Amino acid sequence: MGALHQGHLNLIKAAQKKADKVVCSIYVNPTQFNNSDDLINYPRLLEEDIKKLETVNCDILFTPSDEVMYQKTSTLKFNFGELDQVLEGAFRPNHFSGVALVVSKLFHIVQPDYAFFGQKDLQQLTIIKKLVQELLFNVQIESVPIQREPDGLAMSSRNGRLNPLERQEAVIFFECLSNARKILLENHDRQATISNVQQAFQHHSAKLEYFDIVDDSDLKPRHENYLRPDTVLCIAGYIGNVRLIDNMYLIS
């Protein structure tokens, strides 16, 4: 959706390794916002984005208007069952329906052989894989690892909305994931891991929305057999008015 950072540019680089031509779409999709203020405040930096895409030699930039993407008010809804009701879905109703709708439109317009998505939006990635499977899109979905700042904060377009103090405090999400990973690897204690994260936020300016330990294929909570490559720790919360998400695989 624009406000590009190195994580987005890594998507371009990953695509260039597999494809002859790379298309980047930039479109702030209104149907995936359930907070009108968030839609209004979402950073729109197209001129800067173009310069960044030029540095990695992106072949094509597709920047459709609302009139192109939604010629009429859309009433189409997607239902992914439990997959879009947990984690992000529990706090952002209809968000993933909007994501699935716009991604379907982009797939139809661009007709890609591959589509590259960042691991930071893990639930989105899982749902798009389901979308492709169910609707028989002839596209291969590729996941690209999270790009982090030197202090560990996951790169995000929303980070630009943090003031200097909030930016320093935002590292709590990465620190909590790292500590949770260590606790779970050492003693396999789910409740102790969750309690440690909750306690870290009790005396912090950040607000925790959720933390959970899940299976990356169906996003269901994992209660045993944690030492598997598909176990992932997911977290979300607020720094001021800015909502941030992150995740970390237990075994990297």
What tens digit of pLDDT does each residue of 216-227 get? 999 999 999 999
Q: How far apart are the first and last CA of the chain?
A: 28
Other C-beta atoms lying within 10 Å of the C-beta of residue 78: 19
Half-sphere exposure of 234 (CA within 13 A, CB side): 24
pLDDT of residue 210: 98
8 is catalytic: yes
The full length of the chain comes to 252
pLDDT in tens, 7-54: 999 999 999 999 999 999 999 999 999 888 888 888 899 999 999 999
pLDDT of residue 87: 97
Other C-beta atoms lying within 10 Å of the C-beta of residue 214: 21
pLDDT of residue 118: 96
Has 120 been labeled as part of a binding site? Answer: yes
pLDDT at 135 over 90: yes
| Residue 40, both tokens | 């209004």
Has 140 been labeled as part of a binding site? Answer: no
Q: Where are the alpha helices (DSSP H) in the chain?
A: 6-16, 36-41, 46-55, 66-69, 88-91, 95-110, 122-135, 164-169, 172-187, 190-202
Has 89 been labeled as part of a binding site? Answer: no
Class of domain 157-247 (CATH, top level): alpha beta
| Residue 250, both tokens | 């237990």
pLDDT at 174 over 90: yes
pLDDT at 171 over 90: yes
Nearest to 193 by CA among 202, 183, 203, 185: 183
10 Å CB burial of residue 177 (0-12, 13-18, 19+) is: buried
Euclidean distance between CA atoms 79 and 44, whole angstroms: 29
Nearest to 56 by CA among 21, 16, 95: 16
- Listed in sequence order, the residues at least 6 apart from 208 whose beta carbon sits closer than 8 Å to its beta carbon are 197, 198, 201, 235, 236, 237
Has 52 been labeled as part of a binding site? Answer: no
pLDDT of residue 72: 85
Q: Which segments of the chain belong to CATH 3.40.50.620?
A: 6-144
Has 105 been labeled as part of a binding site? Answer: no
Euclidean distance between CA atoms 99 and 128, whole angstroms: 8
Euclidean distance between CA atoms 215 and 219, whole angstroms: 5
Q: Which segments of the chain belong to CATH 3.30.1300.10?
A: 157-247
Has 85 been labeled as part of a binding site? Answer: no
| Residue 62, both tokens | 């597709």
Has 157 been labeled as part of a binding site? Answer: yes
pLDDT in tens, 45-98: 999 999 999 999 999 999 999 999 998 888 899 999 999 999 999 999 999 999
Q: Kindly report the CATH number that applies to the domain delimited by 6-144.
A: 3.40.50.620
- The residue from 8, 108, 188, 223 that is catalytic is 8
CA-based R_g, the chain, Å: 18
Has 240 been labeled as part of a binding site? Answer: no
Contact (Cβ atoms closer than 8 angstroms) between residue 59 and residue 22:
yes
> Given pLDDT bands bounded at 50, 70 and 90, which one contains residue 152?
very high
pLDDT at 236 over 90: yes
What percent of the chain lies above the pLDDT cut of 70?
100
